[in-house]
Structure 1
């Protein structure tokens, strides 16, 4: 889901807070949900309430998804993805477009001068954080972020099967 996002409900904030194990802050939307409806990715304001610039618009929160992406990162797959990125010009072009799309999405909400040219996950030239890249892919759909799509295809979690726990906040 691209901006503008529907306003998150109090229940969304409660669930995200339970997922994170802390109070969710400055959530402006839920761009991706589990098939059961629980939040999977949050959209966070580009400038937090305390004035801090916050570049990560799309933030993966679903515990099973974050665990699966962490497991994938532990396999050193980021080195493999970085190599593919370094050698494949089509991948480079697609990743640059993902970077530009990410920035455009964030700037459609609020222009934060300190964040000019900054996206997330190492885009457009590195593979730094698969959590951010997978969150972007889940939010905007397949075909926009090629590295996020690769990470989702390779991890043990799938957005088509509910793996939610009962969250008590």
Structure 2
């Protein structure tokens, strides 16, 4: 087992994530990507929530501006265009590798039989949720998830600039 590239979240970070989501954060095991100001952008979530529910979406996009940007892309019918990229053998192979990497990352926090082999966002053969794919791309870094990378490139939001309502929230 490898060590995940993030530390356990602090209570203050959980408060920020809860505010971003507009509800209590559930099952957060780490902050997998951050805004340039330090606020959480993507959380890593336990594959089984405290109530026993299986939760396949290990990398969960929480940043309000990022989630809005992915919603806008989905509403403007970008997903079929991104899905067409899977016709390219190299892109399809990279996407399958992203799926495998996602599963390996999540497995570090436990195996859940109900979601065995299920990653997120439609991987490894479809494009179903840009929020999940962008979250994975932000957490794993550029070059790991080609469809997540493509969605981020097309988005009106960028991880390189802060669009947080309260940029200092994570540091208080």
Give the TM-score of the pair, scaled to structure 1: 0.95
Structure 1 match to 2:75: 74
Q: Give yes or no for the alignment of 1:118 onto 2:118.
A: yes
- Aligned residue in 2 for 1:130: 130
- What is the rounded CA distance, in whole Å, between the counterparts of 2:10 and 2:163 in structure 1? 21
Aligned equivalent of 1:139: 139
Whole-Å separation in 2 of the counterparts to 1:154 and 1:120: 20
Q: TM-score, normalised by structure 2?
A: 0.93
Taking only aligned residues, the RMSD between alpha carbons, in angstroms, comes to 1.3
Matching of residues 139-158 of structure 1 within 5 Å: 139-158=139-158
Runs of 4+ deviating beyond 2 Å:
none
Distance 2:77 2:5 in 1: 35
- Match of 1:127, SS state, is coil
- In the alignment, what sits opposite 1:59? 60
1:4 to partner: Cα distance? 5.5
Contact 2:5 2:32 in 1 (8 A): no
Q: Deviations over 1:68-109 (max 9, x none)?
A: 111111110101011121x20101100000000000100122
SS at match of 1:120: coil
The equivalent residue for 1:14 is 15
Where do 5+ consecutive residues of structure 2 fail to align?
A: none
- Contact 1:4 / 1:109 at 8 angstroms: preserved in 2? no
Q: Is the 8 A contact 2:33 2:40 kept in 1?
A: yes
Give the equivalent residue in structure 1 for 2:84.
83
- Shift in Å at residue 56 of structure 1? 0.4
Count of aligned pairs:
166
Report the Cα distance in structure 1 between the residues aligned to 2:44 and 2:82, rounded to whole angstroms: 25
Gaps of 5+ in 1: none
CA distance in 2: counterparts of 1:46 and 1:92, whole angstroms? 25
CA drift of 1:11 comes to 0.8
Q: Report 1:157-168 matches (<5 A).
A: 157-166=157-166
Partner of 2:99: 99
